[in-house]
Chain A
Amino acid sequence: MTSYDVIVIGGGHNGLVCATILAKSGRKVLVLEAANEIGGAARTEEFYPGFRASTAHILNRLHPDVVKTLELEKHGLLLSPKAASGSTPTPDPSPQGGLAAARTALNLGEFGREAETSSPSPLRGGVRGGGNSHAPTIALSATGERLTLYGAYGESLAGASVAEQVAWKELRAQLVRYAGILKPMLSRRPPDLGGMSLAETSALGLTALSLKRLGREDMRDFLRMLLMNVADVLDEQLEDDRLKGLLAFDAVLGSHLGPRSPTSLLGLYYRLTGEIGGAPGAQIIPLGGMGQIAAAIASSATKAGAIMRSNAIVNKIRVENSRVTGVVLENAEEIPCRTIVSAINPSTTFLDLVGPRELDTGFVRKVKNIRNQGDAAKLHLALDRPPEFLGVRAEDHRGRLVIAPSTDHVERAFNPAKYGEFSAEPVMEITLPSLSDLSLAPDGACVLSAIIQYAPYRLKQGWDAGKPKFFKIVMDLLERYAPGIGATVRHAELLTPADIEARYRMPGGHWHHGELQADQMLMSRPVSGWSGYETPVDGLFLCGAGSHPGGGVSGAPGLNAARRILAARS
């Protein structure tokens, strides 16, 4: 029997990143994936003959160290927007709030420079220039008065008043600056306050230094705002309900929070700690869908010598004398191994695979208390033809379309979720990935992929009864923003958190593998005392989104875990 130095459980992107780095260091690595395909929630699947989509549908935080360490660009990843620079950013030509206004009234140098390199009419659909451009974000409006964030998270803002543009430019700069303080923490272990190494202490010192560098006023504001709710922050600085609604939506996307819930601003910071090619907050709809990312990582893993097995469901992690000795698969096959890295959910790892008997009560208690219940649903539509959203320019349909008309609207959408009910007026993020990658849908047809909030995992009426009702609400809503879309639906797939749980083996259907809120971040992720990728079981490590820094297709937990494992061994 072949023996392995390391077994990685779960072939999602974090598992693959970790496996690749460990394999590159010369270890013999086996990746066990339960599904018949690797990639986790980033994999692209056919949901209707000829139509493909992936649950994660936007790339906005793949960590640059991951891209570099795994040499992903050599393995087919196309990230750089430079080849398609012609479309970044695309200012809105409308008279008010447009480029001319910005340039003359504000004389904003940056605006001008960017605008000069931009081409007025990018091609519609298809692959352009072999690269990805930053996708714009469009705040949809049922009346067609849209507002658009171009460039990397609204480097330019179209459709708003001049005053609002100025206010946004300031707020954006401030948010990016503050997120920048937190950003270095993403690629490090959370500070271990009990016993920090010299390197860790100095890294934390650098964070303190960067805080200091903000200057006194800015530092105070950073500290003041850190745990604020996003709604209050937005009300301090902005006027436009559409912009505030969009930002509020982005702050709470993927969490069980409303914009007025304390600490909700952290979600926006988390988004802005992500980057594409050095541009914070930038997003792309990857060519070939998210599956392309997983494929590039898998290709890098293969090159590094990692062996990947799909349809390999791990049923048990064997522990003897507080140390892992191997895994047992569903088919009773036993694979001995002294180092096991779990990229799957922490609760599943400890409660199901290791089992509470091998763990201390206090630890089990903490694991059981991880808040894991998703509040977002995923919709995939197979459409006869691309939909036309009211007031959205043809080329902007390739961006991220958000229905969140105001902060109040998002908050009201959240209210029922607190009581186990779905939103009657949900908020959602829509992409049309087949416009960026023609291979995802048959000729002329289109794929719509949307994340819809709020859809609580524990729905009081149960999802069997609730799903058809929620689907109707969602389709009625889409119809309001893209009249006629309903008639073009060939097939619809609505994934409730319960469905996401079953399909991706994510307990609670939560794509972060645990709420990403202040109490479940940094040294408290996944649980306090065990945030450094090690676990109470010798030889068992975590490397998934349930660990610091959290979810989204970043690869950062996988990267940090691999570094930790390498450091622990040497």
Chain B
Amino acid sequence: MEDKKRARIAKRIAAELPENAIVNLGIGIPTLVTDFIPEGKGILLHSENGFIGLGPAPAPGKEDPSLVNAGGHPATIVPGGCCFDSSMSFAIIRGKHLDFTILGALEVDEEGSLANYTIPGKFVPGIGGAMDLSVGAKIVVIAMEHVNKHGAPKIVKKCTLPLTAAGEVNLIVTDLAFIRVTPEGLVLEEIAEDTTVEEVIRNTGARLIIAEKLGRF
């Protein structure tokens, strides 16, 4: 996907984050959200390997081997941050103290179930923190391409891949659409500025309820 489209997804998600939110970002498109979080809103990033206040990558030569991000790369901690062990980190996650988790996905379905950790027989890197994050965070946001590399919908009626979590997703933001998961089903609230409702429906494998006031992003 073009960088411009990935950036648009990240920018739209960043606009959802309220003041003082504690947010965990997954790898891939979710990481790009950092670029669009305005300063002065008091938003802090949680890094599940043991701190709140994840900052930008350190300058070359300034790496601290005892401070890495959830991908194992050198990190910094911003003023106001704090460190803890993994037990505390996941207590923060499962105990509903984390406001947002932004995750990538292989499939998401009408019930808000999510599959993102394995393709049996092909890809088994493990679970990491994804199951805890999707069960524990107050709001679970999926940031992904609308279709997979074969052009098939990633938003489906029922996930076919092994689930990361059942019925936990709240928002899905793609290069085409902003969709809210509700008890009635998936509500298409906004579409990207360069698409149409018809194109979104054609590329979605689940039923979409079109919002009365459809926005653009």
A and B together in one complex: no
Question: Using a CB–CB distance below 8 Å, which chain B residues touch chain A?
Answer: none
